Amino acid sequence: MFEQWLGKQLRSPRGILSKWVASYMETGNHDINEWTIQLLDIQPYDRILEIGTGGGAALSRIAEKLESGRACGIDSSKSMIKQSLRRTERLREEGKAEIKYGRAENIPFADRSFHKVFSVHTVYFWTDARQALKEIYRVLQIDGTLNLSVHLKEQIKLSKKTKDFTLYTEEQIRDLLEKNRFREINVHMYKNYCCITAVK
């Protein structure tokens, strides 16, 4: 029962405990977020999309690095949207950040809007990974990059703690990326984290 509830909360936090879930995710994801930000090789002019902003911690860090660029984020949890909007208020006023309600399978931005798209620990919760990657491909500029930071199926069994998600092997993610026309697929490892990068 608890495992099913936790799985649903991690997918889309809601209700009176959503702030606790957000804090839990932010603390647990700090290291992998920082590592992923480094891998993005952020340039001052970059337009970057985060899928699954949570409370907005990583998005805020990225927006602070930008000059003429913009950090945009989507999340499927209205509770997380509210928290990230509060956190990024100044950055949004400066035109450096934008937050929208949305899912990976239906990204609410125009074609070729971004130089870079990244996501940390959300691929498990996508209801249709092929459609999500199709959407990411659509919103990326030519030669734009995708960074997917995850725990691979071989690395950790999240299923011992939660339900309502899908674990992937490196080969499965590679196959999905290739079938969606991504190229230059590379795997980066840090501690027990994995970031799979690809180019449009």
Binned average pLDDT, 10 residues per bin, the chain of 200 residues: 45 48 58 93 97 93 96 93 93 96 97 97 91 98 96 58 71 94 95 92
d(CA 165, CA 153): 12
Per-residue pLDDT reduced to its tens digit, 54-82: 889 999 999 999 999 999 999 998 888 99
Q: pTM of the predicted model, to two decimals? A: 0.84
Backbone angles phi, psi at 127, to 5 degrees: -80, -25
d(CA 119, CA 132): 11
In the prediction, which pLDDT does 17 show?
47
Q: Which domains does the chain have, with CATH numbers?
A: 2-199 (3.40.50.150)
In the prediction, which pLDDT does 167 show?
82
**SS3 label, residue 149:** strand
Percent of the chain with pLDDT over 70: 80
Q: What is the 3-state secondary structure (H, E, C) of 40-89?
A: HCCCCCCEEEEECCCCCHHHHHHHHCCCCCEEEEEECCHHHHHHHHHHCH
Q: How far is CA 89 from CA 56, 59, 99, in A?
A: 11, 12, 10
